[in-house]
Chain A
Amino acid sequence: MPQTALKIKDHIDLFNDPEYLEIFKRKREQFEDMPDADVVAKQADYINTMEYREKNFAREALVINPAKACQPVGAAYCAAGFEGTLAFTHGSLGCAAYFRSHLSRHFKEPSAMVCSAMTEDAAVFGGLNNMVEGLANAYALYKPKMIAVHTSCIAEVIGDDLNSFIIQSRDKGSIPADFPVAYAHTPSFVGSHIVGYDNMMKSILSNFWEGKDRKAGNGVNIIGGFDGYGVANAREIKDIIAAMGADATLLSDVSDIYDTPADGSYRMYDGGTPLEAVTKALDAKATISLQEWCTGKTLDFAKEKGQEVASFNYPMGLGATDDFLMKLSALTGKAIPESIAKDRGRLVDAIEDSLSWIHGKSFSIYGDPDFVYGMTRFILELGGEPAHLLSTNGGSEWEEKMKALLASSPFGASGQVWKGKDLWHMRSLLATEPSDYLIGSSYGKYLEKDTGVPLIRIGFPIFDRHHHHRFPTMFYKGGLRVLVTILDKIFDTIDEKTKVTGISYDLTR
């Protein structure tokens, strides 16, 4: 018997025991009716070939292991960063359950969200009654300061009109006449979670800005974009703002809501951008986005209102952070203080100390378009060589911009950009043209297993490692953290290789 009370084995060890291995064998031989082992081995080899890769890239309809989620989860994430705001899914109830689980699994935090529980009858007659009743219940039970409604597939396909439904709900007394309800149409069959983020951000700003006169001031608004590290990066940006003494507002500040303390009470709302500040944000001189492809419509809207706009692509490391800080300084008229210059110097120092371990190594990267851009730019600074750069939700503009980035550095020469491709494409790429390392979300662990390319976990979602989101990835300090993450994997990989012979198994590096 494999199990004893003295040392209890769970799934990690139990199923390596002979008794269980015997079960697997017997089951396979007698009942599974699976292909013969040689047939399986042949196919397993075949999927690593260039011939298979060509077939794989000829796919037109089938999507395998995509690195993107759907719009509403982005809308919900955006909404969570505003004071007392309750996300409301107008649709069938499974969607909200999935969005909540997805966010909870990444952040290891509660994720509050209600839904209008549409079923067959609502599919036929429309979801108006669900909205009227749902807003009344949500308002009474959860006492939010704002409700942010987004749609799921069902509401979009049958064409529910959120604006009209919310007006009718107000008329029927579900919510007070002046209670803020932002709403965004977020069809899951258009774009991805980054578009949903944009739609909700624009909707929330519209809700507070429309019909008001703008008195242009000197403030600046900063939007973080959909970011698995939004908690720590928000704190980072607030530290920078404070250090500069700048008049700046972070729009959708998720730093508290996805990082609430355990102190004996659960708070459904915590922190977030104050609603008053959202109103005031109309008067800002400019709105800056840290992620271009998360904020296209929002920036257009801010521009229409008379603001200057600027966007960045996940500012990480030296050059990208420099650009960002100088822009912020120019817009606010505040100098970049010595404390930030010191942070910069520390990152430079760290890179100098470690460059020999990264220089010339190749890195494949996948994820959201801004992340892949920012990460690639940082890899170039480190003397690494970008290899396969893939974004399932990246488009033609992204592709062009990526190519320009690669062309800007001799280290970019072998970089290949793959827009709209999925992780099964990436598998073929790594099997036929391997890079030394792979950078991306937890989903990359299957690629690491299949191709042997070590995975450096940076991205969204991170499900199988804990607390990464508590550390920043953006700006100088984030760059340092990312650098350490990369180096740890490189050193672990070297130790793994050298421990077999003991040669090069070095103590000091």
Chain B
Amino acid sequence: MDGMNPDVKAERKALIEEVLSAYPEKTAKKRARHLNVYDEGKPDCGVKSNIKSAPGVMTIRGCAYAGSKGVVFGPLKDMVHISHGPVGCGQYSWSQRRNYYTGTTGVDTFVTMQITSDFQERDIVFGGDKKLEKVIDEIHTMFPLNKGVSIQSECPVGLIGDDIEAVAKKKGKEHGKLVVPVRCEGFRGVSQSLGHHIANDAVRDWMLGKGKSKEFETTPYDVVVIGDYNIGGDAWASRILLEDMGLRVIGLWSGDATLAEIERGNKGKLNLIHCYRSMNYICRHMEEQYNIPWMEYNFFGPTQIAKSLRAIAEKFDDKIKAGAERVIAKYQPLADAVLAKYKPRLQGKKAMLYVGGLRPRHVADAYGDLGIDIIGTGYEFAHSDDYQRTAEYIKDATLVYDDVTDYELEKFIDKMRPDLVGSGIKEKYSTQKMGVPFRQLHSWDYSGPYHGYDGFAVFARDMDMAINSPVWALNKAPWKAA
């Protein structure tokens, strides 16, 4: 696609207008601020973000609980996370994010369990604090090897005025173990984003630099990886590279993480952040409080991996710099072989993305490595700084949509007919019915890892199998083909 083609821009702007025309006037006006066609060279994508979704439309967003329990706390493996409130929230998020971990589930690790206080009407009427106390006591009986408990509050808890902080203090003291209250009720904020922030604050106030985890010797090469949730094993495919170049990953937040790794997070020399949106808050805090610098990196696709490895190495000495070059050289043949195999099959294809966190920008160059153009992208719960960071990754005339409604996304897909859409479970099946290949980019469609060089091979294979499946040509009955 010729990025500078004014016709393409005009066409896409007209498409936005067309899509908006279906809304009632007031909603159309609101939505117009979230849709744009990117102008190369602009410092951001020119869309508003982190604003309330319109009622009555299908937003793809989740809630603060999803941000806290579903993303940040859920993967922390040796703590028990209570879905505090009615049964649903814990049930729907049970084992759904594929945060891989090692351990004996139900004994020393608890990630794939649904632990809830299962609120009943009497808890709403009389308050849930007493029940919560009992729940925590019973957790210690059932799971004595737990390292701590977090209380992930659901909507009713905040509304009825429960004092979960007081319960946490009391029970923490009684059991001699950490109890963290997290006020991530779903009605707070406009999306899951506030849940991330709330979870970061809880890490700051209750965990970081505290606790009783064993002392250990630090080295000049100690780093903490932040914002990798180990979906499909991503964090391991990243860790292998960092360790190979000579760094020591003393903590990984929060995929496959233990409480000790969180508590000792302030012992690192550098914080490496992958998902900026979900955990930049704690990086900023550690910078202020402990003088620990932080940097973003991107481990999607060989171009960005190499760039990131070199940038990380720049923060260290020649030994690490040489280590980075060694790692890049070691994996370059793999990357080359993967590209040789898949690029010819994918060159010139067009993809549209709609995801959360960092993916709407970070994966763009991984697609680019494979010869695939990103023609549209957007975030579920970004803030303006995310869109500023996106400008670096996208080309002129890219369609940008913030908090896109399913209606808008379907229209965009239908009109632009990309060769691939990368989004979530709620978008997967409607897109495929339209005859457009799809990959889930939240859960990696039950595949992965996608991070690192090992992950890129899987990513390339998966995009090829989605796009080049024979089934897309069989979508229409031959007697109905136009």
Which A residues contact B (CB, under 8 angstroms)?
A: 1-6, 8-11, 14-15, 19-20, 23-24, 26-28, 30-35, 39-40, 43-44, 47, 55-56, 59-66, 68-70, 72-73, 88, 91-102, 104-105, 108-120, 122-123, 130-131, 133-142, 152-154, 157-158, 187-190, 192, 260-268, 424, 427, 443, 446, 450
Task: Identify the closest chain A residue to B248 (Cβ).
Answer: A30
Chain A residues contacting B66 (CB-CB under 8 Å) are 94, 97-98
Contacts A263-B433, A263-B475, A264-B433 supplied; 6 other A-B pairs, CB < 8 Å: A5-B457, A68-B87, A69-B92, A119-B52, A188-B87, A190-B120
Contact B24 A189 (CB under 8 A): no
Contact A117 B55 (CB under 8 A): yes
Contact A5 B213 (CB under 8 A): no
Residue among A27, A44, A55, A109 with the highest chain B CB neighbour number at 10 A? A27
How far is the CB of B99 from the nearest CB of chain A, in Å?
Answer: 12
How far is the CB of B124 from the nearest CB of chain A, in Å?
Answer: 6
Chain B residues contacting A113 (CB-CB under 8 Å) are 58
Given contacts A4-B337, A94-B186, contact A10 B458 (CB under 8 A): yes
Chain B residues contacting A192 (CB-CB under 8 Å) are 87
Contact A66 B425 (CB under 8 A): no
Contact B258 A63 (CB under 8 A): no
Task: Identify the closest chain A residue to B100 (Cβ).
Answer: A11
How far is the CB of B106 from the nearest CB of chain A, in Å?
Answer: 6
Chain A residues contacting B425 (CB-CB under 8 Å) are 101, 104-105
Task: Identify the closest chain A residue to B114 (Cβ).
Answer: A65
Contact A133 B476 (CB under 8 A): no
List CB contacts (< 8 Å) of B417-441 with chain A.
424-426, 428-435
Contact A40 B107 (CB under 8 A): yes
Q: List 10 A-B contacts (CB under 8 A).
A: A59-B138, A69-B92, A93-B59, A94-B186, A102-B91, A118-B187, A119-B189, A133-B55, A153-B155, A154-B156
Task: Identify the closest chain A residue to B118 (Cβ).
Answer: A63
Chain B residues contacting A266 (CB-CB under 8 Å) are 410, 430-431, 433-434
Contact B94 A264 (CB under 8 A): no
Question: Can you list the 5 inter-chain pairs with the closest CB atoms, starting with the nearest?
Answer: A94-B63, A70-B88, A134-B56, A134-B55, A137-B56
Chain B residues contacting A152 (CB-CB under 8 Å) are 155
Q: Cβ of B367 < 8 Å from any Cβ of A?
A: no
List CB contacts (< 8 Å) of B261-302 with chain A.
261, 264
Given contacts A14-B449, A119-B189, A122-B187, contact A5 B340 (CB under 8 A): yes
The total of chain B residues at the interface (CB under 8 A) is: 129
Contact A137 B61 (CB under 8 A): no
Cβ-neighbour of A101 out of B214, B260, B264, B426 (below 8 A): B426
Q: Cβ of B166 < 8 Å from any Cβ of A?
A: no
Inter-chain CA distance A137–B92, complex, in Å, is 27
Q: Cβ of B358 < 8 Å from any Cβ of A?
A: no
Inter-chain CA distance A365–B297, complex, in Å, is 49
Chain B residues contacting A65 (CB-CB under 8 Å) are 94, 113-114
How far is the CB of B426 from the nearest CB of chain A, in Å?
Answer: 5
Q: Cβ of B65 < 8 Å from any Cβ of A?
A: yes
Task: Identify the closest chain B residue to A111 (Cβ).
Answer: B426
Contact B24 A260 (CB under 8 A): no
Contact A55 B142 (CB under 8 A): yes
Q: Cβ of B220 < 8 Å from any Cβ of A?
A: no
Given contacts A119-B187, A134-B56, contact A110 B154 (CB under 8 A): no
Chain A residues contacting B249 (CB-CB under 8 Å) are 27, 31
Chain A residues contacting B331 (CB-CB under 8 Å) are 1
Inter-chain CA distance A290–B459, complex, in Å, is 46
0/1 per residue, B164-179, Cβ < 8 Å to A? 0000000000000000
Chain B residues contacting A122 (CB-CB under 8 Å) are 187
Residue among A14, A39, A108, A190 with the highest chain B CB neighbour number at 10 A? A14
Contact B159 A40 (CB under 8 A): no
How far is the CB of A266 from the nearest CB of chain B, in Å?
Answer: 4
How far is the CB of B151 from the nearest CB of chain A, in Å?
Answer: 13
The segment from B33-41, B197-205, B232-240, B305-313 found at the interface with A is B232-240
Q: Cβ of B123 < 8 Å from any Cβ of A?
A: yes
Contact A23 B243 (CB under 8 A): yes
List CB contacts (< 8 Å) of B330-347 with chain A.
330-331, 334, 337-338, 340-341
Task: Identify the closest chain B residue to A60 (Cβ).
Answer: B134
List CB contacts (< 8 Å) of B427-482 with chain A.
428-435, 447-449, 453-454, 457-458, 460-461, 475-477, 480
Task: Identify the closest chain B residue to A121 (Cβ).
Answer: B52
How far is the CB of A112 from the nearest CB of chain B, in Å?
Answer: 7
Task: Identify the closest chain A residue to B154 (Cβ).
Answer: A153
Contact B120 A14 (CB under 8 A): no
Contact B87 A69 (CB under 8 A): yes
Q: Cβ of B93 < 8 Å from any Cβ of A?
A: yes
Contact A28 B102 (CB under 8 A): yes
Cβ-neighbour of B142 out of A34, A56, A69, A118 (below 8 A): A56
Contact B187 A92 (CB under 8 A): yes
Chain A residues contacting B56 (CB-CB under 8 Å) are 88, 114-117, 133-139, 141
Cβ-neighbour of A137 out of B23, B433, B453 (below 8 A): B23
How far is the CB of B337 from the nearest CB of chain A, in Å?
Answer: 3
Chain B residues contacting A265 (CB-CB under 8 Å) are 433-434
Inter-chain CA distance A100–B58, complex, in Å, is 10
How far is the CB of B52 from the nearest CB of chain A, in Å?
Answer: 6
How far is the CB of A259 from the nearest CB of chain B, in Å?
Answer: 11
Cβ-neighbour of A133 out of B54, B159, B213, B259 (below 8 A): B54
Inter-chain CA distance A27–B61, complex, in Å, is 35
Inter-chain CA distance A123–B159, complex, in Å, is 8
Contact B457 A8 (CB under 8 A): yes
Cβ-neighbour of B116 out of A66, A93, A110, A141 (below 8 A): A66
How far is the CB of B424 from the nearest CB of chain A, in Å?
Answer: 8
Task: Identify the closest chain B residue to A1 (Cβ).
Answer: B334
Inter-chain CA distance A104–B220, complex, in Å, is 48
Contact A130 B187 (CB under 8 A): no
Inter-chain CA distance A70–B92, complex, in Å, is 9
How far is the CB of A24 from the nearest CB of chain B, in Å?
Answer: 5
Contact A92 B435 (CB under 8 A): no
Q: Cβ of B254 < 8 Å from any Cβ of A?
A: no
Chain A residues contacting B92 (CB-CB under 8 Å) are 69, 73, 98-99, 101-102
Given contacts A43-B108, A262-B433, contact A70 B91 (CB under 8 A): yes
List CB contacts (< 8 Å) of B41-62 with chain A.
52-62
Given contacts A110-B430, A123-B187, contact A66 B63 (CB under 8 A): no
Chain B residues contacting A40 (CB-CB under 8 Å) are 104, 107-108, 145
Chain A residues contacting B57 (CB-CB under 8 Å) are 114, 137-138, 141
Contact A94 B134 (CB under 8 A): no
Contact B338 A5 (CB under 8 A): yes
Contact A23 B236 (CB under 8 A): yes
Task: Identify the closest chain B residue to A94 (Cβ).
Answer: B63
Inter-chain CA distance A32–B233, complex, in Å, is 17
Chain A residues contacting B259 (CB-CB under 8 Å) are 33
Task: Identify the closest chain B residue to A115 (Cβ).
Answer: B55
0/1 per residue, B337-372, Cβ < 8 Å to A? 110110000000000000000000000000000000
Inter-chain CA distance A60–B23, complex, in Å, is 50
0/1 per residue, B238-252, Cβ < 8 Å to A? 011001000001110
Task: Identify the closest chain B residue to A6 (Cβ).
Answer: B337
Contact A11 B449 (CB under 8 A): yes
Cβ-neighbour of A32 out of B160, B240, B258 (below 8 A): B258
Chain A residues contacting B426 (CB-CB under 8 Å) are 97, 100-101, 104, 110-111
Inter-chain CA distance A111–B433, complex, in Å, is 13
How far is the CB of B167 from the nearest CB of chain A, in Å?
Answer: 12
Q: Cβ of B15 < 8 Å from any Cβ of A?
A: no
How far is the CB of A469 from the nearest CB of chain B, in Å?
Answer: 13
Cβ-neighbour of A43 out of B145, B216, B236 (below 8 A): B145
Chain A residues contacting B61 (CB-CB under 8 Å) are 93-94, 97
Given contacts A55-B142, A56-B142, A110-B433, contact A140 B186 (CB under 8 A): no
Inter-chain CA distance A45–B155, complex, in Å, is 38
Inter-chain CA distance A98–B87, complex, in Å, is 12
0/1 per residue, B120-148, Cβ < 8 Å to A? 11011000000110110011011011010
